[in-house]
């Protein structure tokens, strides 16, 4: 009986190892133009440039953008991420789909320490959006539909634009240089407008 039990444990360990190997194989590293298709998890490695510019691209889990890397989602691609998008120390996050709603993030967007630009336009986000501690040319959140909160803080850029968004939660802005502007297109906010974004 003991031998049978030990054999069973070995078989289970083997199955788990195969499953783990299969899961790791489902991670896609994007270092150029990403072809249309369904992906389990997407990583843009450090220093790489990933462009999504054609067809339907669906990511079932998270998208991670590495240091000095860039992710660009451009028309006429349709981009859907059922997880969250996270970038730390990246060069650029540019999500510029057309028409409106061609890019959907079902989790959160977190962009921290971006060195060139953050541009998120006409994108649907079911979670929260956070842009913080970035330096570079600009931060732009324009005509997005965000179910949760939008937090923009401590960004030192050439321009900070938060314009024409529909935000279900709060819009919170602090310690940005220059202060964010809406270019005459106010944001619709279900919660409160706080700090530098009080009048946006």
Interior/surface letters 159-181, b for 16+ CB within 10 angstroms, e for the rest:
ebbbbbbebbbbbbbeebeeebb
pLDDT at 101: 79
pTM: 0.86
Q: What angle do CA 113, 38, 49 make, to 5 degrees?
A: 35
Residue 19 domain-assigned (yes or no): no
pLDDT at 100: 77
pLDDT at 47: 97
Residues 6+ apart with CB under 8 A from 75: 53, 96, 97, 98, 102
How many domains, the chain? 1
DSSP code of residue 163: E
Q: Which residues of the chain have pLDDT under 70?
A: 1-25
pLDDT at 86: 98
Residue 168 domain-assigned (yes or no): yes
pLDDT at 98: 81
Q: What is the pLDDT of residues 96-141, one digit of tens each?
A: 998 877 999 999 999 999 999 999 999 999 999 999 999 999 999 9
Residues 6+ apart with CB under 8 A from 41: 26, 27, 28, 59, 60, 61, 62, 63, 64, 83
Residue 2 domain-assigned (yes or no): no
Residue 17 domain-assigned (yes or no): no
Dihedral angle sign, alpha carbons of residues 37, 28, 60, 151: negative
Judge residue 200's burial from the number of C-beta atoms within 10 Å of its C-beta, 0-12 exposed, 13-18 middle, 19 or more buried. buried
Residue 79 domain-assigned (yes or no): yes
pLDDT at 7: 38
pLDDT at 154: 98
Residues 6+ apart with CB under 8 A from 27: 40, 41, 42, 43
Helix (H) or strand (E) segment spanning residue 96: strand 92-96
Coil, strand or helix at 76: coil
Domain of residue 108 covers 27-195
Residue 8 domain-assigned (yes or no): no
């Amino acid at each position: 009986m003991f031998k049978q039990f030990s054999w069973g444990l070995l078989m289970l360990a083997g199955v788990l190892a195969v499953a783990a190997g299969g899961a790791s194989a489902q991670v896609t590293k994007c270092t150029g133009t990403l072809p249309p298709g369904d992906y389990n998890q997407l990583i843009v490695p450090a220093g790489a440039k990933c462009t999504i510019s054609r067809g339907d691209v669906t990511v079932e889990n998270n998208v991670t953008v590495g240091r000095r890397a860039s992710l660009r989602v451009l028309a006429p691609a349709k981009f859907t991420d059922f997880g969250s998008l996270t970038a730390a120390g990246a060069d650029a996050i540019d999500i510029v789909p057309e028409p409106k709603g061609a890019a959907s993030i079902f989790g959160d967007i977190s962009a921290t320490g971006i060195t060139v630009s953050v541009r998120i336009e006409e994108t649907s986000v079911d979670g929260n959006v956070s842009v913080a501690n970035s330096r570079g040319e600009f931060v732009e959140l324009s005509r997005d539909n965000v179910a949760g909160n939008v937090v923009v803080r401590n960004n030192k850029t050439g321009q900070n634009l938060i314009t024409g968004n529909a935000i279900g939660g709060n819009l919170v802005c602090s310690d940005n240089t220059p202060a964010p502007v809406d270019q005459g297109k106010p944001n619709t906010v279900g919660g409160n407008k706080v700090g530098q974004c009080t009048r946006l």
